[in-house]
Amino acid sequence: MSEKKEIQPATAFFPMFEKYDMGVVKIEDQGLQRYINLENKDFFLGAPHANKMFGKANLSIIERLINILMKTEMYTGQKTKAYKVVRMAFEIIDKRTKINPVQVLVDALQNAAPKEETTRLRFGGIMVPKAVDISPQRRLDIALRNICSGAMTASHKNKKRIEACLADELLKASKNDPASFAVAKKNDLERVAKAAR
């Protein structure tokens, strides 16, 4: 008789999830509030939510950042390495600002999440761009992807390590600084959508 193997949380091996207080983090964007999970502190080395609809909303927002970072060129499939990068980036943010790094991450996501984008509609033989609202889950996915892409781009052909680049990107995005890659991408997307209204 074969027993199903359960994926055990690896929190004991990854203490970053216990280090920062999630209870004091405030989410101001009501649309994203449901999808930014701060209560789940379990860190999984497998993918228990992979085939469940909206399953990724049950993952901790820190683990989602690690998973998106794992999709970039250097860390493909290397979750432990991606975890170390995020841990070091959080330590850099903690040293520089003395603010809870999880709050900085949440602020960065709120500022980098676009509200509108364009889609193409076909009228006869013509493709016409049309502005549409973005669902909260997609807004969060775009923000996470752009933050990780910005950190990887900044560290490419640069003496700065990826940890410092990720910390810089999070700090700039949390302050809504247009120098941030994620905020600049959001502004471009919303500008194009505004023109297509």
Question: Would you call 194 helix, strand, or coil by DSSP?
Answer: helix
- Mean model confidence pLDDT for the chain: 86
Q: What are phi and psi of 116, to 5 degrees?
A: -135, 150
**69 lies in some domain:** yes
As a whole number of angstroms, the distance between CA 50 and CA 10 comes to 17
- Name the residue with higher pLDDT: 108 or 14: 108
The number of folded domains in the chain is: 1
Overall size of the chain counted in residues? 197
Domain of residue 187, CATH code: 1.10.455.10
**5 lies in some domain:** no
Domain span including residue 100: 16-195
Got the DSSP string for 70-137?
TTSSTTTT-HHHHHHHHHHHHHHHHHHH-S-HHHHHHHHHHHH--SEEEEEEEETTEEEEEEEE--HH
pTM score: 0.86
What is the amino acid identity at position 48? Answer: P
**31 lies in some domain:** yes
**171 lies in some domain:** yes
**3 lies in some domain:** no
**2 lies in some domain:** no
User: What confidence category does residue 110 fall into, taking pLDDT thresholds of 50, 70 and 90?
Assistant: very high
Question: Would you call 146 helix, strand, or coil by DSSP?
Answer: helix
Question: Would you call 54 helix, strand, or coil by DSSP?
Answer: coil
As a whole number of angstroms, the distance between CA 162 and CA 153 comes to 9
pLDDT tens digits, 4-57: 555 555 454 456 667 888 888 999 999 899 889 887 656 666 667 777 887 788
**158 lies in some domain:** yes
Percent of the chain with pLDDT strictly greater than 90: 56
**103 lies in some domain:** yes
